[in-house]
Structure 1
Amino acid sequence: MSEPRWLDATQQRDWRAYVDGSVRLTEIMDRDLKAKHGLSVSEYEILVRLSEAPERRLRMAELAANASQSRSRLSHTCSRLESKGLVRRDSCPSDKRGVIAVLTAEGFAALERAARDHVETVRNHFIDVIEPDDLEAIGRAFTAVLKKMTGGA
């Protein structure tokens, strides 16, 4: 068994800053969305993904992959959104086993309201505290991370 490739002090510092910062940022976004709009971050992300999809509808499997949720977790989250009237699920006409999530008009309106506050949270706690060059570097870095995780080039 080979020895682990331990992080040096600088790498460890930067890794911990990422972990701590991302966890706290997600907590703040979740708290604000729940307090102001009754939505969790994962519910908000589903509404966003559906709003960006053609005809505001996606197969559940594709939505799970896009929203970085397991199919089981997505099913529970969509059930909550259905109970709020924000999403509905339809059967897939081309595949009897498939299910399509559809953003309702009420869901789109809720997303429009939430997005105004959410963008301020993102700006106040992320965009506006990072230098433009550093923000660009974060974008490049996480594009590379996502490519690695999704098997991209």
Structure 2
Amino acid sequence: MRGLILTLALLSPSLATAEILAAARTLPAGTVVTAADLQLTANDRRGLSDPSEAIGLQTRITIYEGRPIQASLLQAPKLIARNQIAQVTFQRGPLRIVAEARTLSDGAAGDVIRVMNLESRSTISVTVQADGSLLALN
């Protein structure tokens, strides 16, 4: 009896399909996903089903039209780009120092990245803040 049920499940695609999110258009790598970029489709592949899980995230790779949207294809949006000139703030108590630095990698909110101080040419670690500012680690 179990063999018959398993065989029917494998042969009948309608039993295994579910409504999942798919790309409504081709989304190049680095695109921030909006509601217009998503469509619900019946598919037997795994993927996200709730639009709120994808909207506002950035694509890691190009996602072609009609391809199911999977969590592994998305990441938090990058706020800082590599080689960007940005201000770094160091604060300890009442002391506050602001310096310009060149970022050595991309960064999303909460990421720790390395930057090079433009005056001293030394590299330091900073935390990317939610507003895109950089805060030097103590």
Does the pair score TM above 0.5? no
| TM-score under structure 1 length normalisation | 0.22
| Greater Rg over alpha carbons, structure | 2
Which has the bigger relative contact order, CA under 8 A and spacing at least 6?
Answer: 1
More helix by share: 1
More strand by share: 2
| TM-score under structure 2 length normalisation | 0.23
